[in-house]
Homo-oligomer: A and B are copies of this chain.
Amino acid sequence: MSDVASQGADLMRAAVIDRHGGPEVIELRSVPVPRPGPDELVVRVAAAGCNNTDIWTREGAYGSGSGVRAGWLGPLSFPRVQGGDVCGTVVELGAGVGDRDLLGARVLLDPAGYDGPGRDASVADVLGSERDGGFAERVVVPAVRAHRVDDSPLSDVELAALPIAYGTALGMLERGGVGEGQQVLVTGASGGVGLAAVQLSGARGARVVAVCGAHKAAAVLAAGADVVVPRDGDVLTAAADAAPEGYDVVVDLVAGPFLGEGLGLLRRRGRWVVSGALAGSDVAFDVRRLYLSDLTVVGSTMHTRRVFDDLVTIARRGSVRPAVAATYALEHLEAAQRALATREHVGKIVVVPSSC
């Protein structure tokens, strides 16, 4: 990763990739500051969160089944600036942006563009994947994707930890119907989405049993889990013992063989919500388990407009404070992504442009 300083008012520093590959394909470059089109605005990036999806998109791993390298939503265009989680300040408004008060506002960007106007429309593009994202000094987005968070008690770095991980987790909780007094099991609880699910479930008044590596137990308990089940032991028995009447919801980022084995952990009408497959994507089970007990296996990708609005409310109230494991300067994005891939941290890794 080369290091190029910003060279003037019309240039900015950005981490660019020209092809799929390992972290070595990330190049810090001086590029033209993007200008807003109609109904768009420019945000000066204060902080940009890192996510596993950045790594998988960079690697083109979403296309692996088809033998073609691709992002989640299809082939990527290059050059591309990644980074879907952005908190920053609005510095320029394009023509047609109705709310001129946005200029100067602190905003959290919705990483998603949608395929229709509804509150439950599907994700059609993602910041940093189908369009340039926040691993840069400036980013241009449609104005509707900028949500004001001036009054949030959270820092810029904390806010930038929220969109993808906490949005995905909140989407899972919504689709799984997690509510007060429920028993919730979270697998992969020390990861970005897992830890978010622990915190957000706790904030909803659920009792949370979390599965993670034993060396991360203290951090996951600190984030609000009621019980931690070590990943390396007999997870099934320990998880069953921790909720003798069964779980209302399992929030699963792990999948693999555990999904089939674990369905018996659910109580009647329980929901198994899955949004990742760290242990493998091949799952198998006896479908009688599902229908004789009215169970549901729910897949969940990211969030919807409805869910993101709820997340912005949480952000403004500061009702959940995301754990931040480390902050890296933009010029060290490559190191940040290498650290992310080791999975040794608990909490989010966030990138900050050192001068803006």
Contacts and interface: CB of A to CB of B under 8 A. Distances in A.
Contacts of A299: 287, 289-296
A256 to B, nearest CB: 8
A113 to B, nearest CB: 15
Copies of the protein in its oligomer: 2
A275 interface: yes
Nearest to A288: B281
Interface in A235-292: 255, 259, 268-269, 274-277, 281-292
Nearest to A268: B122
A297 interface: yes
A329 interface: no
A301 interface: yes
A72 B292 CA distance: 8
A68 interface: no
Contacts of A65: 286, 288
A341 interface: no
A335 to B, nearest CB: 29
A152 interface: no
Given A122-B268, A122-B269, A287 B301 contact: no
A129 to B, nearest CB: 13
Given A281-B287, A287-B274, A296 B293 contact: no
B286 A293 contact: no
Contacts of A292: 62, 72, 299, 301
A175 B296 CA distance: 10
B297 A296 contact: yes
Interface of A: 62, 65, 72, 120, 122, 175, 255, 259, 268-269, 274-277, 281-301
Given A282-B284, A291-B300, 16 more contacts: A120-B269, A175-B296, A275-B291, A277-B291, A281-B288, A282-B286, A282-B287, A283-B285, A284-B284, A287-B299, A289-B299, A293-B301, A294-B300, A294-B301, A295-B299, A296-B296
20 contacts: A65-B286, A65-B288, A274-B287, A274-B290, A276-B291, A277-B287, A282-B287, A283-B285, A283-B286, A283-B287, A287-B299, A290-B298, A290-B299, A291-B301, A293-B299, A294-B299, A294-B300, A294-B301, A296-B297, A297-B298
